[in-house]
Amino acid sequence: MNVFRLLGDVSHLVAIIILFLKIFRSKSCAGISGKSQVLFALVFTTRYLDLFTSFISIYNTVMKVVFLVLSYATVYLIYLRFRSSYDSESDTFRVEFLLVPVAGLSFLENYDFTPIEILWTFSIYLESVAILPQLFMITKTGEAESITTHYLFFLGLYRALYLANWVWRYHTEGFFDQIAVVSGVVQTIFYCDFFYLYVTKVLKGNSKLTLP
Q: Binding to other proteins by residue 170, rule CB under 8 A?
A: yes
**CA nearest to 14, candidates 134, 201, 155:** 155
Contact between 198 and 209 (Cβ < 8 Å): yes
Does the footprint of other proteins cover residue 175 (CB under 8 A)? yes
Closest approach of other proteins to the CB of residue 141, in Å: 31
Cα–Cα distance list, 11 to 59, 61, 138, 162, 195 (Å): 15, 17, 22, 10, 15
Task: Give me the least distance between CB of 66 and other proteins, in Å please.
Answer: 10
- If the CB atoms of residues 30 and 63 are measured against other proteins, the closer one turns out to be 63
The span of 134-142, 149-157, 174-182, 187-195 binding other proteins (CB under 8 A) equals 174-182
179 binds other proteins (CB under 8 A): yes
- Least distance between other proteins and beta carbon 132 (Å): 21
Mask: binding to other proteins, 38-77, rule CB under 8 A, as x and -? ------------x---x-xx--x--xx--x----------
Q: Which is nearer to other proteins, 64 or 201 (CB)?
A: 64
Site for other proteins in 107-126 (CB under 8 A): 111, 117, 120
When the beta carbons of 138 and 160 are compared against other proteins, the nearer one is 160
Interface residue list for other proteins (CB under 8 A): 1, 5, 9, 12, 50, 54, 56-57, 60, 63-64, 67, 111, 117, 120, 162, 165, 169-170, 174-180
